[in-house]
């Protein structure tokens, strides 16, 4: 399995960058898996998702307050952005590892080219840029649990939505002091 991950990681780096891939020998299994996860999200690569997660893994989406249990739910969650977004980009800015997992700080962006369910029924063509954190917990070389932490308010505002507050206040795009 590590050989397949190593090949995937090398191919990933070669396609993302025109420079030679860095030496992987210093990467921990957790760091390699979180790097592969970010790339799989950006490219909707289900084969990589199936390889890096245990079939019974859990993935928590704290912004939506949902837990995705099992590999099929995880694949659906991680590839859902491609149903509405084009030019999907997921960049890991920093990775922090431990003996049992990793934390990845990331920047995500996509162009809303299609409706997002009934919440955003019109394709705005607007770019969405979000910052977040993903935590992974490893067991036996694969991800057993993952969790995303991201503020969903910027998504709403960047797509032209507004948030009505008690007392009559409204948040909308361009309100710098949120």
What span, in angstroms and rounded, lies between the C-alpha atoms of 130 and 4? 31
The total number of structural domains in the chain stands at 1
Are 54 and 69 in contact by the 8 Å Cβ rule? The answer is no
Are 103 and 69 in contact by the 8 Å Cβ rule? The answer is no
Are 30 and 97 in contact by the 8 Å Cβ rule? The answer is yes
In a domain, 86, yes or no: yes
In a domain, 166, yes or no: no
Which pTM does this prediction carry?
0.82
In a domain, 37, yes or no: yes
Structure tokens of 139?
């067991």
Each residue's pLDDT, cut to its tens digit, for the chain (178 residues) gives 444 444 444 334 433 333 334 445 567 999 999 999 999 999 999 999 999 999 999 999 999 999 999 999 999 999 999 999 999 999 999 999 999 999 999 999 999 999 998 889 999 999 999 999 999 999 999 999 999 999 989 999 999 888 999 999 998 887 654 4
Q: Which CATH number belongs to the domain containing residue 124 in this structure?
A: 3.10.450.50
């Amino acid at each position: 399995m590590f050989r397949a991950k190593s090949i995937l990681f090398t191919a990933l780096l070669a396609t993302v960058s025109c420079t030679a891939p860095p030496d992987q020998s210093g990467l921990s299994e957790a760091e390699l898996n979180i790097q592969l996860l970010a790339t799989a999200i950006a490219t909707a690569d289900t084969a990589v998702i199936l390889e890096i997660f245990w079939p019974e893994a859990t993935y928590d989406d704290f912004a939506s307050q949902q837990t995705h249990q099992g590999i099929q739910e995880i694949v659906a969650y991680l590839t859902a952005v491609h149903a509405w977004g084009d030019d999907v980009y997921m960049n890991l800015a920093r990775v922090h590892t431990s003996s049992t997992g990793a934390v990845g700080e990331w920047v995500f962006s996509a162009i809303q080219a299609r409706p997002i369910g009934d919440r955003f029924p019109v394709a705005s063509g607007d770019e969405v840029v979000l910052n977040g954190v993903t935590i992974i917990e490893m067991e036996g070389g694969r991800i057993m649990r993952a969790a995303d932490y991201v503020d969903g308010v910027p998504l709403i505002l960047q797509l032209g939505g507004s948030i009505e507050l008690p007392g009559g206040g409204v948040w909308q795009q361009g309100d710098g002091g949120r």
